[in-house]
Amino acid sequence: MRFDVLTLFPGMFDSPLADSILAKAIEKKLIDVRAHNLRHWAAGRHQVTDDSPYGGGAGMVMKVEPMVAAIRDLREQNRNAQVVIMTPQGRRFDQAAARELAKDGRGLVLVCGRYEGIDERVHQHVDAEFSIGDYVLTGGELPAMVIIDAVARLVPGVLGDETSAAHDTFEDGLLEYPQYTRPAEFEGLKVPEVLLSGDHGAIARWRRREQLRRTLQRRSDLLDRIELTPADREMLQELIGAE
């Protein structure tokens, strides 16, 4: 899957892509990440990409001409790609959105804004707008990295164990169950006995119960968004009654 990033600071992507899972995925040619300097599409000797806002106000606004020219060129290179812009006004990026963007392995063109924002006319040339949270960042580069990481790990072959993504937090709408590894006891804290039992059915039930417990305690709002099985509802009622 190909990711094209349109940014004023392509060097920001060197380090995050040089290590760990993403680096291995790039080496295996499972994903292809290309950071493009927006200035290459800017006219004039100084390659200006921003200007003062009409109507006055503080800061600078990113110009429409270089951005649209870049988007058109990148669409020409990868006709199946979706163009995504990172903006506080966008849809909240979550696991469902990651699955949508990863579907069918279509490429992504990720447009990174800066300064006071992007000329509104650029938005006519994008397919989707996303925000990674209700806070202010200096630019769209960090959100673009988040999207690349979340989407790339859903590309077949990127994760060593294909079942890993299926059990992630939010993948089924609930928080993930607690995880443990050796030693079985550390400073008086023991691993739950059920995980040492070898009884896979009991382990599965414990993990589901812990998912429900954690979600109830920490993100109860998620329970209203998913379809629970009768067994889930029974466990949930027991947990509520025990509180």
Q: CATH no. for residue 176?
A: 1.10.1270.20
Do residues 37 and 90 both lie within one domain?
yes
Do residues 29 and 135 both lie within one domain?
yes
Counting Cβ atoms within 10 Å, is residue 59 exposed (0-12), middle (13-18) or buried (19+)?
exposed
Average pLDDT over residues 197-215: 96
Do residues 173 and 113 both lie within one domain?
no
Q: Which residues, including other chains, have CB under 8 Å from residue 10's CB and lie 6 or more apart? A: 35, 36, 37
In this prediction, what percent of the chain has a pLDDT beyond 90? 88
Residue 172 pLDDT > 90, yes or no?
no
Do residues 181 and 70 both lie within one domain?
no
**Residue 102 maps to a domain:** yes
Do residues 23 and 82 both lie within one domain?
yes
- Given a contact cutoff of 8 angstroms between Cβ atoms, the answer to whether 172 and 223 are in contact is no
What is the per-residue pLDDT for 166?
A: 60
Torsion on CA atoms 125, 40, 132, 170, rounded to nearest 10: 90
What is the per-residue pLDDT for 240?
A: 94
Residue 224 pLDDT > 80, yes or no?
yes
Do residues 137 and 232 both lie within one domain?
no
Please give the positions annotated as active site. Answer: 88, 116, 153, 168
- Beta-strand pair 61-62/50-51: antiparallel
Do residues 24 and 128 both lie within one domain?
yes
Residue 164 pLDDT > 70, yes or no?
no
**Residue 83 maps to a domain:** yes
Of 152, 179, 210, which residue sits at a domain end?
A: 152
What are phi and psi for residue 44, nearest 5 degrees?
90, 165
3-state secondary structure of 161: coil
Count of the separate structural domains present in the chain: 2
Do residues 129 and 176 both lie within one domain?
no
What is the per-residue pLDDT for 169?
A: 61
Do residues 74 and 138 both lie within one domain?
yes
- Given a contact cutoff of 8 angstroms between Cβ atoms, the answer to whether 118 and 66 are in contact is no
Give the closest residue to 17 by CA, choosing from 144, 155, 156, 108.
144
Helix axes 200-218, 230-242, angle to 10 degrees: 60
Tell me which of 90-94, 134-138, 166-170 is least confident. Answer: 166-170
Average pLDDT over residues 24-31: 97
Do residues 20 and 98 both lie within one domain?
yes
Q: Which range marks the domain in which residue 203 is found?
A: 169-242
Do residues 122 and 174 both lie within one domain?
no
Confidence of residue 243 (pLDDT cuts 50, 70, 90): confident
Do residues 55 and 107 both lie within one domain?
yes
Of 105, 122, 152, which residue sits at a domain end?
A: 152
Residue 167 pLDDT > 60, yes or no?
no
User: For the segment 74-127, what is each residue's pLDDT rounded down to a tens digit?
Assistant: 999 999 999 999 998 999 999 999 999 999 899 999 999 998 899 999 999 999
**Residue 213 maps to a domain:** yes
User: For the segment 182-201, what is each residue's pLDDT rounded down to a tens digit?
Assistant: 999 999 999 999 999 999 99
